Amino acid sequence: MIDQSALSPPSSRPPSHRAADAVVRQLEARIAAGDLADGAPLPPERDLIETFGVSRTVVREAVATLASRGLVESRPRFRPVVRRPGYDAALAAADGVVGHLLAQSGGVKNLYDTRIFLEASLVRQAARQALKDDIEALKRALDANEAAIPDSAAFYRTDVAFHAVLYDIPKNPVFPAIHKAFTAWLAPHWVKMPRSPERNRVNFLRHSDIYHAIRDRDPDAAEAALNAHLNAAWEYVRGTF
């Protein structure tokens, strides 16, 4: 019987890349199994070289690949830190690509429209299904938002926190990860937004409309309030983008 593998063309990848792929697979398996704990540093580079019998170049390429997949966090002059597979890591791994997309014409608006579409669904679900604890969490976030009106930096943080509650209510771990990603991707653009206590109060009042519609179990009013809020916010700042 003919060995079909013998008929396959040899890999076009250089040997160093194939060696790095093997190291990546083994380290991925150890991270997934918990042998390399979340938050712990990777073994020292010299230990990885000895363990896998490869060069420093191969180890560094493998670590770079793990970082691109969100499985380790690399910082200059520090050993890479393990990040267990999760939705946060998966979305963080897309940072570089998303950054390029946002730089394209209409890129920020496309992402912002996606946020509106998702949050409109979230507030509708919250109006129908939010528990008492969820309503209370949203009220605490709203109160903090109101207290921060005079301080625009604090108001921005409480604004993000108010919307974060909406992503927490379904108890689906994907949604909070998406919220963190939206916040991280839009933050470099959002910080350019003109801010003032007067504008903060307008946004607080729109948050209040969303809260009251959810509390009153009115999905249509909740969606209308959310759309009014985010669409008005875009019109206010779109010149920045």
Domain ranges of the chain: 14-84, 95-240
* Cα→Cα distances 67→17, 72, 82, Å: 16, 5, 9
Local confidence band at 11 (pLDDT 50, 70, 90 cut-offs): very low
79: pLDDT strictly greater than 60? yes
Residues with Cβ < 8 Å from 97, sequence gap 6 or more? none
Local confidence band at 108 (pLDDT 50, 70, 90 cut-offs): confident
Domain 14-84 and domain 95-240, same fold? Reply is no
Tell which wins on pLDDT, 188 or 137.
137
Mean pLDDT throughout 80-100? 74
For residue 201 the two structure tokens come to 């109060």
pTM: 0.68
Mean pLDDT throughout 80-89? 78
Fold for 95-240, please state it.
Answer: Four Helix Bundle (Hemerythrin (Met), subunit A) (1.20.120)
Q: Greatest CA span in the chain, whole angstroms? A: 80
Residue 81 phi/psi, 5° resolution? Answer: -110, 135
32: pLDDT strictly greater than 90? no
> pLDDT tens, 138-173?
999 999 999 999 999 999 999 999 999 999 999 999
8: pLDDT strictly greater than 50? no
Measured CA to CA, the distance from residue 41 to residue 73 in angstroms comes to 9
Using a pLDDT cut of 70, give the percent of the chain over it.
88
The CATH number of the structural domain formed by 14-84 is 1.10.10.10
Q: Buried b / exposed e across 14-43, counting CB within 10 Å, b at 16+?
A: eeeeebbbebbeebbeebeeeebeeeeebb
